[in-house]
Amino acid sequence: MYKPVKATVGAVIEGQKGMLLALRNHPPFEGYWCLPGGHIEFGEKVDDALYREIREETGLTIQEHRFLGYFTEYFPDLDWHAVALMFVVSAGGSEVRQESEVKELRWFSPQELRQMDLAFMHGEVVARYLAEFRR
């Protein structure tokens, strides 16, 4: 059976308080912290998807972004296979969570992030970010 791989975007949102994470309130990975982001819609440019998803989930507006890398997210037991395009962003505005998808938004320090079990491959994303951008 043919099943296409999903394409997603996600953001490491940098701030004075650390990195912003979202607590998921729906499957997969319900109850886990993750980087804000989501699916690229059909016909949508990657940058547009990134800006839309961050605005929808966090209420923030991206001011700058740079590509961090792509990550393969394959979890056969969850019937999940995606290629995640991850970005490092700076954003402004006021935090407003998307209630249908996000239970809570919270800033975490690099020390806290190193200890966390995150959704998807986001632990690997955070590790790369900390190694490359926060030496």
pLDDT digits (tens, 9 = 90+) for 28-57: 999 999 999 999 999 999 999 999 999 999
Q: How far apart are CA 6 and CA 41, in angstroms?
A: 10
**Banded pLDDT at 133 (limits 50, 70, 90):** confident
CB atoms within 10 A of CB 68: 20
State yes or no: pLDDT of 135 exceeds 70.
no
Global pTM reads 0.94
| Other beta carbons within 10 Å of 32 | 16
Query: Homologous superfamily of 6-133 in CATH?
Result: Nucleoside Triphosphate Pyrophosphohydrolase (3.90.79.10)
Res 46: pLDDT: 98
Domains in the chain: boundaries = 6-133
